[in-house]
Amino acid sequence: MSAKDFLVEIGTEELPPKSLRLLAESFAQGLTRGLADAALVHRDVEYFASPRRLAVRVRKLASHQPDRTVERRGPPVKAAFDSEGAPTRAGLAFAAGCGVQVSELERLETPKGAWLLFRGTETGAGTMKLLPSIIRTALERLPIAKRMRWGSGEAEFVRPVHWVVMLYGKEVVPASVLGRDASNLTHGHRFMAPRAYKVTTPAAYENTLRRRGRVLADFEERRSAILDGVTRAGEKLGGTAIVSDGLLDEVTALVEWPVPLTGRFEPEFLALPDEVLIATLQDHQRYFPVRDSKGALLPWFVTVANIESPDPAKVIAGNERVVRPRLSDAVFFWSTDRKQSLASRYEALRRVTFQTELGSLHDKAERVRALAVEIARLTGGDEALAGRAAELAKCDLLTSMVGEFPELQGVMGRYYALHDGEPSEVADALREQYLPRFAGDELPVTRTGMTLAIADRLDTIVGIFAAGQKPSGTKDPFGLRRAALGLLRIMIEQQLDMDLIRLIDRALSALPITATPGLSAEVYDYVIERLRAYYLDGEAGFDVLPEMFDAVLDTRPSSPLDFHLRLQALERFLRLPDAQSLASANKRISNLLRKSEESIPAMVDPDLLRDPAEQILAEQVEAMAKRTRPMFDTREYTQALSLLAALRGAVDDFFDSVMVMAEDPALRLNRLALLQQIRSLFIKAADLSRLPG
């Protein structure tokens, strides 16, 4: 079977930079999926992405689908032929549908009778014919939040489409995609090489754009070039450029021909907090700040132009001219905000709505303050500091600086609190209340910061659930998923042993709306379920299978830290040689207990233990219960499960020689009571019946 490279490129207006990489990866994945569904064999699939194009190249794509054997069962033989053996209308119609004579059909003998059978070979369709539909389907499935139309056509895409390239080998694939006929003509850099360029083969694609079109089409190559150029520019300034992955990806998505340049701003702006300077340069201007060897910011920045200018000085001057007013505004905000204390803004929070049914930010702050004081008692924190931090927590939202730079909420609260003379732990807590902000982010380290972060998240989660606006699908406007996982990470990683169920009930009782019955359990289930990805993705530092998570989840530990300790112990227990057999035994025990409709006694009657195997097992279970009880009480689950592993032999012997479901009701119930005691031992750590085995 012959094979050629395939290339598809969608040329557009400037694509949204923050979603460019996702669009490109999704396009490649969708195309790969389509080729697999069509049984088209190929080798590597590569994606390309720049501000004005999405492209995918498939190496060695087969020229057609493989032929496949087709079997079709027709009517029963007795219906296909009459009494004289002549084909009936049913037999003739089936043969005609298969494109053969009746005499060419086979017979399929089954216990239910004989049937006509057609066996043949279906020739695979040509790749050139299949590709247009595969491409259209891949484009339709791209994760585009809102599609747009342009001109008078009906096509919809994330941005208007200007050209489409579809090449199979040297041949143009005849197709119309998104309102454009496919060709072999791509377009170069909008300013430096705006004309169309012929792509002779898919293999020549990126080199054609690089050499003639002044475009680095490979996203990763362009990203590496920017990183290298920015890094070297920072070193020439005698410092180190601050390069975040997010900004690097965004700049990569904004330029097709990156040219790093250095600019300067007045040193007096360095009096601003570092976070303000960095936010101005990074978030608002897409510049890379520069630090010296001691970590202090320098009055320099690196910008990445999308053009090779004959006069770079003018480009630099333009960037410097743009950033200066931004920094001047920040100086004004910094000076003005500090004229009014954070505490004096507290009453003004009454004018800011948190959520219609939950009241204002002031109402929320009052609830959080009461909850934070209670949590401080549990964590060993200072109740007065916790209450004060909760009172000031949202006050910086009313400052001019946070109004201009929302990403600095909490950060500016800390600066302003220190300026007002608030205790340093209160000031630190104002920043720490938002931690962690994303997966792998730092956690609060002060007791007051942990307390405030937990209290604020709890109030938000239970409040939004009570208001009937819990997350659904991909919609999570209040960020409850992130809030729940952050809450859990703080409790687990900072080893705060807290009763989550009681805290949920406490937070619900403070709401201005009445919670529906069962809401507390629903909130608990939602919060704990956020741990699944945390463990299954390995973020906890040890390997967890879905069945292991469910085994602990079924015990519904009220403390997230307790949940963690149980799961950790289960992971270690499963390394033991006896673990698999005990897991299987627990599954069997669980099934027997579940199927029994009788009232099982709470205690085992020793006088009814007839078989030596059940006598030995009962003795060992009683002994293990005494030995492990203090271990379970102090959550030494690993030691307790290690001891219980010694029950394996007695459990195996019991099932080998004892009929649990005996005809004698007394014996049967007594044996079920013994199994119930075994289950109650293990269930103190996890439900082993949920494990495979």
Take residue 179 and report the two structure tokens written for it.
């309102």
Q: Which has the higher per-residue pLDDT, 1 or 500?
A: 500
Q: Which has the higher per-residue pLDDT, 587 or 363?
A: 363
Residue 111: partners with Cβ closer than 8 Å, 6 or more residues away:
none
Could you tell me where the beta strands, DSSP code E, fall in 148-210?
148-149, 156-157, 161-168, 171-172, 176-177, 180-183, 185-187, 196-198
Give the count of beta carbons closer than 10 Å to the beta carbon of residue 9. Answer: 26
Q: Predicted confidence band at 380 (pLDDT cuts at 50, 70, 90)?
A: confident
For the stretch 539-580, pLDDT in tens is 888 899 999 999 999 999 999 999 999 999 999 999 988 888
- 284 DSSP 8-state letter: I
Query: What percentage of the chain reaches a pLDDT higher than 90?
Result: 74
Take residue 597 and report the two structure tokens written for it.
């409709």
Mean pLDDT of 325-344: 96
Burial 451-465 (b: 16+ CB within 10 A, else e): bbbbbbbbbbbbbbb
Residue 566: partners with Cβ closer than 8 Å, 6 or more residues away:
552, 555, 557, 637, 685, 686
Please, are residues 300 and 267 in contact by the beta-carbon 8 Å criterion?
no
Q: H helices of 237-273, where?
A: 245-254
Burial 36-71 (b: 16+ CB within 10 A, else e): eebebebeebbbbbbbbbbbbbbeebbbbbeeeeee
User: How much is the pLDDT for 1?
Assistant: 62
Distances, alpha carbon 59 to alpha carbons 46, 140, 492, in Å? 8, 23, 47
Confidence check: pLDDT of 639 > 80:
yes
Q: Helix 447-466 and helix 361-379: axis angle, to 10°?
A: 130
Mean pLDDT of 339-367: 96
User: How much is the pLDDT for 72?
Assistant: 87
Please, are residues 56 and 40 in contact by the beta-carbon 8 Å criterion?
no
Mean pLDDT of 176-196: 95
What is the C-alpha to C-alpha distance for residues 623 and 606, in angstroms, rounded to an integer?
14
- 281 DSSP 8-state letter: I
Confidence check: pLDDT of 498 > 80:
yes
User: How much is the pLDDT for 122?
Assistant: 72
For the stretch 73-106, pLDDT in tens is 899 988 888 888 889 999 899 989 888 898 888 8
Give the count of beta carbons closer than 10 Å to the beta carbon of residue 210. Answer: 16
Please, are residues 182 and 166 in contact by the beta-carbon 8 Å criterion?
yes
Q: Which CATH architecture has domain 577-690?
A: Orthogonal Bundle (1.10)
Confidence check: pLDDT of 413 > 80:
yes
Please, are residues 572 and 543 in contact by the beta-carbon 8 Å criterion?
no
For all residues of the chain together, what is the average pLDDT?
Answer: 93
Residue 1 CB-density burial (10 A; 0-12 exposed, 13-18 middle, 19+ buried)? exposed
Confidence check: pLDDT of 538 > 90:
no
At 11, which amino acid appears? G
Q: Which fold has domain 3-64+126-211?
A: Alpha-Beta Plaits (3.30.70)
> How do the domains of the chain map onto residue ranges?
3-64+126-211, 69-121, 219-337, 345-529, 577-690
Peptide linkage before 436 cis (omega within 30 of 0):
yes
Nearest to 5 by CA among 52, 58, 49, 42: 58
User: How much is the pLDDT for 693?
Assistant: 62
Please, are residues 188 and 209 in contact by the beta-carbon 8 Å criterion?
yes
Nearest to 454 by CA among 507, 395, 517: 507
pTM beyond 0.85: the answer is no
Confidence check: pLDDT of 429 > 80:
yes
User: What number does CATH give the domain 345-529?
Assistant: 1.10.3210
Confidence check: pLDDT of 378 > 90:
no
Give the count of beta carbons closer than 10 Å to the beta carbon of residue 520. Answer: 19
SS3 34: helix
Confidence check: pLDDT of 529 > 90:
yes
For the stretch 640-690, pLDDT in tens is 999 999 999 998 898 888 898 888 888 888 888 899 898 998 999 999 888
Q: Which has the higher per-residue pLDDT, 590 or 247?
A: 247
